[in-house]
A and B are shown apart, each in its own frame.
Chain A
Amino acid sequence: MQDLINVFIKSAFIENMVLSYFLGMCSYLAVSKTVKTAFGLGLAVIFVLFITSPVNWLLHEYLLKEGSLAFLGESFATVDLTFLKFIAFIAVIASMVQLVEMIIEKVSPALYNSLGIFLPLITVNCAILGTSLFMVQREYNLAESTFFGLGSGFGFFLAIVAIASIREKIRYSAVPAPLRGLGIAFIITGLMGIAFMSLMGIKV
């Protein structure tokens, strides 16, 4: 259990998807204009990651990996389908996001309307595919993958709510005109990234 908590803390704080690996930037920069939308998007991302991480792990372990097709027969024992992982993972993510979209539309139409196009855009959020690809690269087991997904989602949630709060405040400051909006958001994110670097050496 301690091991799993470590994976969670590592992926949420020390190797934050947004502020250490800089994945998920597009929706991070586009949705963080107000805290309400950022909050909603963060929760949606946690939910999608929580579901897609174990599903992708199972898919990779029992269908794609070399030798995993042995249950079909002797001749299939050496088949290696890992080159299909991009297509398979993205298909799983797309269907899960469709599911989340339907749930949110039912449960909270206000949130659904305020998120607009960015809800389906979670499908192409680098952080989600990136989590699955990292999980495969680091060869986690099922429990570790689930906690890794949860941790990544939580890290994304923290980062996007943080920058939304800063951007809400900074709208009323005297930022030079060419830097207003996008430019200053980049610089703030850079500073947040450096701040998160201070967590780099922590051993859990």
Chain B
Amino acid sequence: MSEVADIAVVEKEPLLSKKNKRLLTDPLDDNNPITVQVLGVCSALAVTSQLLPSLIMAVCVVFVLAFANLAVASIRKIMPGRIRMIVQLIIIAALVTIVDIFLKAFAFDVSKQLSVFIGLIITNCIVMGRLEAFAMGNKPWPAFLDGIGNGLGYGAILIIVGALRELFGAGTLLGYQIINASEGSFLHGIGYQHNGVMASSPAAAMFIIGILIWIQRARKPKLVDIS
């Protein structure tokens, strides 16, 4: 009567269990790719002179990161060890080519502004870093979530830096004039001028990220670098 009773039932982990949710929220603050893991810094500096390219770049990176993680985690068991890096690079390059062509078709102005930096997503340390650190040792769904989480963490920093740089550099946000410092306005009267250096030099992004790191580590002493 009990022929069926002894088969063990494997508990399937719910799709958005606590562990999986942490994969999405950790990279936003605790394990942020830019300020804690020091990955993906190049593009964070170069594309953030305005808010719109930063937003588009963040979306592209989330897409590439999530699907590259998914792809590598799916084939990790059948990939030979010696050609691991080449295979990863080809997957990333293929995804970035798709993103590039997509952008050229649907957002041509922004793609001209971003020019080589879309291609540089291939060499974005976050993608390679997460592939090696996470996707190579985890199942496809958690890897996909980890990709989205890290992409969002990266995007959060990009949006903050982009917004600050555009706001103080040109007084606009997404093209809409917010701070009006033209001739005859109140701000012009007291001597305020748009800080052009912020908008044109990525050096300003370095200062902003330095201050973000300062704030983050002051709030969470365990992140302080004791080297």
Interface residues of A (CB under 8 A from B): 21-26, 29-30, 33, 83-87, 90-91, 94, 120-121, 123-126, 128-130, 133-134, 137, 176-184, 186-187, 189-191, 193-194, 197
Assess the B101–A83 pair: CB atoms within 8 A.
yes
Q: Is B4 an interface residue (CB 8 A)?
A: no
Determine how close the nearest CB of chain B comes to the CB of A96; give it in whole angstroms. Answer: 13
Assess the B38–A29 pair: CB atoms within 8 A.
yes
Q: A25-B42, A179-B210 are in contact. Are A120 and B85 (CB under 8 A)?
A: yes
Assess the B45–A133 pair: CB atoms within 8 A.
no
The answer for the CA separation of A184 and B42 in the assembled complex, in Å, is: 17
Q: With contacts defined as CB atoms under 8 Å apart, how many contacts are there between chain A and chain B in the complex?
A: 137
Selected interface stretch from B14-22, B115-123, B144-152, B186-194: B115-123
Assess the A21–B86 pair: CB atoms within 8 A.
no
Assess the A179–B116 pair: CB atoms within 8 A.
no
Selected interface stretch from B73-81, B163-171, B173-181, B213-221: B213-221
Assess the B123–A186 pair: CB atoms within 8 A.
no
- Contact among A23, A30, A90 for B42, CB-based, below 8 A: A23
Assess the B225–A180 pair: CB atoms within 8 A.
yes
Determine how close the nearest CB of chain A comes to the CB of B224; give it in whole angstroms. Answer: 5
List the A side residues contacting B45 at CB < 8 Å.
22, 25
List the A side residues contacting B214 at CB < 8 Å.
176, 178-179, 183
Assess the B213–A23 pair: CB atoms within 8 A.
no
- Contact among B122, B210, B221 for A129, CB-based, below 8 A: B122
Assess the A194–B97 pair: CB atoms within 8 A.
no
The answer for the CA separation of A176 and B213 in the assembled complex, in Å, is: 12
The answer for the CA separation of A94 and B204 in the assembled complex, in Å, is: 32
The answer for the CA separation of A130 and B115 in the assembled complex, in Å, is: 11
Assess the A126–B38 pair: CB atoms within 8 A.
no
Assess the B203–A133 pair: CB atoms within 8 A.
no
Determine how close the nearest CB of chain A comes to the CB of B220; give it in whole angstroms. Answer: 9
- Contact among B39, B201, B206, B210 for A26, CB-based, below 8 A: B39
Q: Is B209 an interface residue (CB 8 A)?
A: yes
List the B side residues contacting A194 at CB < 8 Å.
197, 201, 203
List the B side residues contacting A181 at CB < 8 Å.
225, 227
List the B side residues contacting A124 at CB < 8 Å.
89, 122-125, 128
Determine how close the nearest CB of chain A comes to the CB of B106; give it in whole angstroms. Answer: 16
Q: A178-B213, A182-B213, A186-B213 are in contact. Are A91 and B206 (CB under 8 A)?
A: no
The answer for the CA separation of A147 and B101 in the assembled complex, in Å, is: 31
